[in-house]
Amino acid sequence: MLPFFATVLTTTAQLSPSSAALPAPVYFSRPAFDFRAGYNEAVMEFDLPITSHTGKTLKVLSVQTSCTCMKVSVPEPQLEPGMLGRVHCVFTVPNALGTVQKPVILKTDSRERPNEIIMVRVEVPGILHAEPPRLIWKAGDLAEEKTLRITVVGGNRQRLTKVNCSRDIFEWTLKSIEDGREYELHVKPKATGMPTRGMFLIQTDSSVPRQKLHSFYAVIEPRTPTP
């Protein structure tokens, strides 16, 4: 079994009809791979399995990707028929939260189909989880207070040190339920007459740069006309 140094998640990408029409001399075990970085992880290592499906020896000439944040290599570039090989990846986790997607291009000496492309997606999660994901009012609603419940995930205690809002129309208070673990952000609009959106920027005391700032939203949505 090939070593995996990251958790493989579900795969949703599909091969395009044009690429699927030709027989592939080298097959990745799936059309895309999904990984999830650790909350404080700086560098990930993982392998992408490949298999030769030709009746002769196939040579991997090169492997590359579109970003210097991921280094790729093929430890055994010569694949015998049916042989299981691997593309080894070393990925530097960026200082941004969200999902990063990178193509890996494998070039072989196959005349029929020399290039194979696989997509690698890495989810970079944040240490703050909010419930609900955002606070919503409808235009014209009662300007009542709503609560964003914020939980620190990932195992370590992280204090929320500062909160700012991009819109003066929202008044807010931060309440600590369990220091370093659980907080409540109480938000109340001064009025709900006009649709608007406010971003709450929350600062933590995390030593990991990408985990220092997190954003959540309070939204006054337009009211849908009644038919």
**Which tens digits make up the pLDDT trace of 69-125?**
999 999 999 988 888 889 999 999 998 899 999 999 999 888 888 888 889 999 999
Task: Assign domain 128-221 to its CATH architecture.
Answer: Sandwich (2.60)
Band of the pLDDT at 226, cuts 50, 70, 90?
Answer: low
Find the mean pLDDT for residues 191-217: 96
List the CATH code of the domain at 7-124. 2.60.40.10
Whether the pLDDT of residue 151 is over 90: the answer is yes
Name the token pair of 9.
């998640």
For the question of whether the overall pTM of this predicted structure is more than 0.85, the answer is no
Q: How far apart are CA 66 and CA 70, in angstroms?
A: 8
User: Residues of CATH 2.60.40.10 domain(s) within the chain?
Assistant: 7-124, 128-221
| Closest C-alpha among 227, 203, 197 to residue 215 | 203
Q: How far apart are CA 2 and CA 79, in angstroms?
A: 16
Q: Is 98 exposed, middle or buried (0-12, 13-18, 19+ CB in 10 A)?
A: exposed
Q: Tell me, what's the pLDDT at 16?
A: 35
Q: How far apart are CA 109 and CA 165, in angstroms?
A: 57
Do the Cβ atoms of 89 and 47 come closer than 8 Å? yes
